[in-house]
Structure 1
Amino acid sequence: MPVVENSLETEGTSASSTSEQGSEQDGKAKAADSSSGNESESDNSDTAEGAESSSTKEGKDNSSSSDDSQSKNDLSDNVTDYDSLLKTLSKKLKEVQAEKEEDMQKTEQKAEQDISATKQNVAQDRVTEQARNVARQSDEKMINSAIMDGPHAKVTYRLHDFSPASCKEAYVKMNNTYSLERIGKKMAQKVKPIFEKKIKGAVYHGQHCGSRISIPHYQKDSSKPFDRIKKPEKISLSCTVIIDQSGSMYGYKLESALRAAAIIKNFCNELKIPTMVFGHSSSYPTMDIYRFCEFDGSEDEIYTLAAGNAHCGTRDGAALLYAVNKLKDRREEKKIIFIISDGSPCDYGYSGITAYKDIQGIIKSASAYGISFFAAAIDEDKESIAKIYGEDRFVDISNLDDLPSKMAYVLKRALKIR
């Protein structure tokens, strides 16, 4: 029995030990399982972390590669932009160079044209100057041989010319200041109806005599029953303007005289009237004639009027003789001499009654050539001018704005237009 108990105890003990061992084994197994589980979890976590890290690395690698590719693309775009910009700049540079070359060519062509034009102008000026010199010498010979007797018998004429080119600037200034061309054109517009009346003809009603009876006028006034018919006529007219350049004309008088001459010249140019303009002064025995514009001269000769200056004495009769000798052989039927003077002839042996009689004798003899005389006065010179040339030949030009109406009066008298 005791043996049994012992055996039982032994069995119990063994069983318990076995169970303990089993439990220990189970515990170990569980521990092993838990450790294996932990290890597997750690392995799994390590695997996950590795995967995450690898994915992160891959992402970084991908992002870095994408950044690299983006930077490469940006660089490529920048290179393309720079290439395009360089091409554009190169194109613009070529265009600028082409424009510069074209401008240089145009400048060279312009310079060549200017040089050519200057050469032509110089050549033309030389030809004109030579022609004027020849004409001047011819005129000097003509007038010096023509004056054989009278108070001017021992006078020697000396003619002077001016270069239009050297006087242009001064004349343009004078013209812009006083509107000489405008007044000349205004005067032409005022006078044109007179010319048209002469050219087209006219019928004058209510006349004492005429070619036909006008019934209405006969019934109204039996003393003037006729119509007078003026047939159309061709206007054949030339004009000469003489400017007194003596010392007594110095200042305002001479300036006004030169402006008046320029207006008359512009007026005659508008109406296609051949016109000569010259000034005069004397210092016995020399008579100086300053030729500004010739009948057949160039249009720019009017510039020379800016060169007019006051000089010495006045020998009006000698100046009138020069004009008459220039006009008498011209083909125009009517010729006008327009004198601008202060009416004070004064030179050695030539003044007072001697001068008056000389001038009046020249006026009378010149009428045989169809020459009419009109004298213009400025301010206080009116009385002396009217005394020498006569009231019917006197024109007051103190106010140049009144010159159109004054010139209309002159032409009416010269052309005998009512």
Structure 2
Amino acid sequence: MDIDLIQDNQAEEEGIRLKKSAESDESSSISSDESADMESTDSGENGSPKYHQANPEPMSEEEKQKERDFRKKLNRVSREIVSDSIHQAVKLIVHRPEYDSNNQEEYFNLSRELIPVVREIARKTLPLLEHEVASEFARNHFYGSKFQADSVAYRDFRYFGKKRPPTESHGLVVGLRVDESASMAAFGRLEAAKRAVIAVYEFCQICNIPILIYGDTADVSRLEQMSIFAYADFDKTDFRDRFRLMGIRARSNNRDGMALRIMAERLAASPKQTKLLISISDGQPKAMEDYTGSYAIQDMQQTIAQYERKGIKFLAAAIGQDKDVISQIYGGERFLDITNLNELPAKLVRIISRYL
């Protein structure tokens, strides 16, 4: 049986109402009327949004075939990445979720109140990004030949700039991993994750930041022990990816180390100078048969250490009851405790903007 033929259209989700983040007060100068007219936020050459029709044309047969080919490629690449790890025998399927009119409607309902917050943060970030592109110096280093006074306000000791080698590409690439375990359905966690994903995706579109957004779950069936949902991928950008994001939902178990390894390897291959991988999760790893407890924690910590040596920066946004365990796994310096779920979208966008 060809596991690539297993159905991957699992994109149903009930509509939810978005509450603006508590951190977004400073963006109140942007009216909600302006955002109500917004249909999408791909950015033009000057960084300003450009719009697409609310009901885009359905995919042609040629486009559908390209999607199938791309999904097969993602399956092949992902299996190669884990082929020399403890996950090598796990039956993996990478899905490329489809979308429908309900997903589009949900996206516009959610993004209407969120986009003004994102655009305000992007408005403040873009001038810094333009400076970064134009400069011969790479910003935000612990040492270097050029002191940058404006970085002192961040208090992270990255006060210097240094000249880039000829082979070094400036800029940032972002990976966003979403835990789609069953427990994400509780206490508004799934809704918070969706809002955060929309915010991060739209911010990256405005700022022209390559973005990888994957969801994952484990133990759907004996033939599908690990499921990856490729909602957005920088190797095949499509403005319709924003509608795929609405397929995020609570499903089954979670095999975190395998998901992190696949995404981190993809980021490590990017020529970008800064590579940030954010994981949104509500609990510790747990999957059949024995991927739990100290065994799973050790796998995650070894994966983080291995890919930090390859230049990946990890950040865990903990939104559930296992915050202490998540902090232990990732370490305090990589841990973000989200007590108020409404703060998650703006917090993540602001953190990403600091890496530019």
The correspondence for 2:191, drawn from 252, 255, 268, is 255
Mapped pair 1:371 → 2:312: yes
Residue aligning to 2:327? 386
- Aligned counterparts, 1:3-402, within 5 A: 121-122=57-58, 124-166=59-101, 167-176=103-112, 179-192=113-126, 194-195=128-129, 198-199=132-133, 200=135, 230-231=161-162, 235-251=170-186, 252-283=188-219, 286-295=225-234, 296-348=236-288, 349-378=290-319, 380-397=321-338, 398-401=340-343
The correspondence for 1:408, drawn from 329, 350, 355, is 350
**Contact 1:280 1:314 survives alignment (8 Å):** yes
Unaligned runs of 5+ in 1: 1-116, 214-227
**1:155: Cα distance to partner?**
0.6
1:155 aligned partner, one-letter code: V
Structure richer in strand, relative to its length: 2
**1:236: Cα distance to partner?**
2.1
Task: State the SS of the aligned residue for 2:216.
Answer: strand
2:92 aligned partner, one-letter code: Y
2:276 aligned partner, one-letter code: I
Q: Which of the two has higher C-alpha Rg?
A: 1
**Contact 1:171 1:304 survives alignment (8 Å):** no
Scaled by the length of structure 1, the TM-score of the pair is: 0.59
The higher relative CO (CA closer than 8 Å, separation ≥ 6) is in 2
**Contact 1:377 1:396 survives alignment (8 Å):** yes
Deviations 1:197-228 (A, max 9, x none): 645489x9xxxx98699xxxxxxxxxxxxxx8
**Contact 1:315 1:350 survives alignment (8 Å):** yes
**Contact 1:281 1:311 survives alignment (8 Å):** yes
2:105 aligned partner, one-letter code: E
2:114 aligned partner, one-letter code: L
1:275 aligned partner, one-letter code: I
**1:314: Cα distance to partner?**
0.5
Identity %: 27
Distance 2:146 2:115 in 1: 44
Deviations 1:236-271 (A, max 9, x none): 211111100011111411121111011000111111
1:249 aligned partner, one-letter code: M
**1:343: Cα distance to partner?**
2.9
**Contact 2:231 2:244 survives alignment (8 Å):** yes
1:154 aligned partner, one-letter code: A
Q: Judging changes above 3 Å, is the alpha-carbon distance between structure 1 residues 126 and 210 closer, same or farther for their aligned structure 2 residues?
A: closer
Scaled by the length of structure 2, the TM-score of the pair is: 0.68
**1:332: Cα distance to partner?**
1.6
Residue aligning to 2:19? none
Distance 1:360 1:164 in 2: 35
Residue aligning to 1:7? none
Distance 1:303 1:358 in 2: 33
Q: Judging changes above 3 Å, is the alpha-carbon distance between structure 1 residues 129 and 180 closer, same or farther for their aligned structure 2 residues?
A: farther
2:228 aligned partner, one-letter code: I
Distance 1:373 1:152 in 2: 20
**Contact 1:174 1:306 survives alignment (8 Å):** no
**Contact 2:197 2:345 survives alignment (8 Å):** no
Distance 1:168 1:407 in 2: 22
**1:322: Cα distance to partner?**
1.6
Deviations 1:278-333 (A, max 9, x none): 11000066110112112132112111111222111100011112212322322222
Structure richer in helix, relative to its length: 1
1:272 aligned partner, one-letter code: N
**Contact 1:237 1:273 survives alignment (8 Å):** yes
Distance 1:245 1:332 in 2: 28
Q: Select between 133-142 and 193-202 the one with higher mean Cα deviation.
A: 193-202
Q: Select between 362-371 and 142-151 the one with higher mean Cα deviation.
A: 142-151
Distance 1:139 1:212 in 2: 41
2:118 aligned partner, one-letter code: G
**1:406: Cα distance to partner?**
4.6
Residue aligning to 2:10? none
Number of residue equivalences: 276
The RMSD of aligned alpha carbons is 3.2
Deviations 1:40-77 (A, max 9, x none): xxxxxxxxxxxxxxxxxxxxxxxxxxxxxxxxxxxxxx
